[in-house]
């Protein structure tokens, strides 16, 4: 963990900032003056400048910005924590989630059953392990593997009471499409550029009733 400027000099937090401000004022206030007029004027100008400087410095600290080597740097350029999309679809059906199995590795393949404009069922492979199949038995099960190092970065589709279409778009510009558009269209993208699809959750019965997408940085890239 990096230390900010105040911590580095033994003055931590807002209280340390005010201590530093008082120290500077007292130091300059004790300097000999050439005349009372210029002394008062100089003191007022200096005091105002220091107050402005301290205010700006305090804002930087509140915004989580470090000062290092004379340049301002954000704390992190990566996604600070995992995030998820809204749930697309209806409110019925049994809930499912891949939150546990996704720890086996990144998404490496997709299996989906689709009949006309219905997504009937789905199964996702994480690393070398498949998730439990959810959905119904209707239609042909289509399997599409991802290339090594390929990640899903966007999902388009449509839904109503059921999920009608899913189109997975990868960082290698492949489009993996299942089902047909019907009802409400959606376009799900991660909240930050370096995030990818890590796992799915949703609701199902004999069809996929609803789906949610969970984003995070690529496996192995999160700072501990």
64 lies in some domain: yes
The residues, any chain, with a CB within 8 Å of residue 48's CB and separated by 6 or more, are: none
Q: What is the pLDDT of residue 99?
A: 97
| Residue 116 within a domain | yes
Residues 6 or more apart in contact with residue 164 via CB below 8 angstroms: 117, 118, 119, 157, 158, 179, 180, 181, 182, 183
Given CA atoms 188, 160, 116, 121 in this order, what sign does their dihedral have?
positive
User: According to the model, what pLDDT value does residue 82 have?
Assistant: 86
Based on the domain organization, do 59 and 92 belong to the same domain?
no
Q: Is residue 224 domain-resident? A: no
Task: Give the tens place of pLDDT for each residue, 112-125.
Answer: 999 999 999 999 99
**Poorest-confidence range of 20-29, 86-95, 154-163?**
20-29
Q: Is 171 helix (H, G, I), strand (E, B) or coil?
A: coil
Residue 144 pairs in a beta bridge with: 110
Can you give the CATH number for the domain in which 151 is found? 2.100.10.30
CA dist 153 and 209 (Å) reads 22
Residue 198 has pLDDT above 60, yes or no: yes
**Does residue 185 share a domain with residue 95?**
yes
Answer whether 88's CB lies under 8 Å from 220's CB. no
Do 69 and 180 lie in one domain? The reply is no
Domain final residue pick, 46, 74, 102:
74
Residues 14 and 91 in one domain: no
Mapped onto helix, strand or coil, the DSSP state of residue 181 is: coil
- Which of the pair, 202 or 24, is modelled with greater confidence? 202
Q: What is the structure's pLDDT at 220?
A: 75
Residue 21 confidence (pLDDT) above 60: no
Question: What is the average pLDDT value for the chain, to the nearest integer?
Answer: 77
Percent of the chain with pLDDT over 70: 62
Judge if 66 and 87 occupy the same domain: no
Residue 223 falls within a domain, yes or no? no
Residues 45 and 138 in one domain: no
Which of 22, 44, 74 finishes a domain?
74
pLDDT in tens, 32-85: 444 444 445 444 544 565 565 545 544 443 333 333 333 333 333 345 568 999
Same domain, 116 and 31: no
Asked, for residue 206, whether it belongs to a domain, the answer is yes
> What pLDDT score does 136 carry?
97
- Euclidean distance between CA atoms 213 and 137, whole angstroms: 23
Instruction: Tell which of 74, 98, 130 closes a domain.
Output: 74
Confidence of residue 219 (pLDDT cuts 50, 70, 90): confident
Are residues 40 and 144 located together in one domain of the fold? Answer: no
Whether residue 33 is found in the same domain as residue 89: no
Kindly tell me if the per-residue pLDDT of 207 is higher than 80.
Answer: yes
CA 116 centroid distance within chain? 34
Same domain, 87 and 70: no
Per-residue pLDDT tens digits for 89-108: 999 999 999 999 999 999 99
How many independent structural domains does the chain possess?
Answer: 2
Classify the C-alpha dihedral 178-184-189-191 as positive or negative.
Answer: negative
pLDDT at 213 over 90: yes
- Identify which has the larger pLDDT, 1 or 152: 152
Nearest C-alpha neighbor of 20 from the set 10, 35, 32: 10
For residues 18-38, average pLDDT: 47
Tell whether 115 and 199 lie within a shared domain.
yes
Q: How far apart are the first and last CA of the chain?
A: 10
Q: What is the mean pLDDT of residues 143-162?
A: 98
Domain that holds residue 131: 83-217
Q: For residue 215, how far is the Cα from the chain centroid?
A: 7
State yes or no: pLDDT of 195 exceeds 60. yes
Higher pLDDT, 29 or 134: 134
110 and 135, same domain (yes or no): yes
Kindly state the helix (H) or strand (E) to which residue 51 belongs, with its residue range.
helix 36-62
DSSP 94-162: EEEE-TTGGGG-SEEEEEEEEETTEEEEEEEEETTEEPPPEE-S-S-EEEEEPPTT--EEEEEEEESSS
More confident: 179 or 69? 179
Strand, helix or coil at 89? strand
């Amino acid at each position: 963990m990096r230390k900010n400027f105040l911590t580095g000099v033994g003055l931590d937090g807002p209280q340390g900032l005010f201590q530093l401000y008082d120290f500077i004022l007292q130091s300059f206030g004790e300097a000999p003056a050439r005349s009372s007029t210029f002394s008062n004027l100089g003191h007022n100008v200096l005091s105002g400048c220091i107050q402005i400087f301290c205010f700006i410095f305090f804002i930087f600290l509140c915004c989580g910005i470090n000062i290092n080597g004379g340049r301002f740097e954000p704390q992190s350029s990566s996604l600070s924590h995992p995030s998820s999309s809204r749930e697309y679809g209806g409110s019925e059906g049994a809930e499912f989630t891949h939150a546990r199995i996704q720890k086996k590795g990144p998404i490496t393949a997709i299996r989906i059953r689709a009949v006309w404009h219905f997504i009937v069922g789905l199964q996702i492979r994480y690393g070398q392990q498949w998730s439990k199949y959810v959905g119904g038995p209707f239609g042909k099960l289509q399997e599409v593997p991802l290339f090594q190092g390929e990640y899903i970065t966007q999902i388009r589709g449509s839904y109503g009471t059921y999920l009608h279409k899913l189109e997975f778009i990868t960082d290698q510009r492949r489009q993996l499409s299942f089902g047909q558009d019907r009802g409400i269209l959606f376009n799900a993208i991660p909240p930050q550029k370096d995030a990818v699809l890590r796992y799915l959750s949703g609701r199902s019965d004999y069809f996929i009733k609803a789906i949610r997408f969970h984003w995070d940085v690529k496996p192995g890239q999160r700072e501990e």
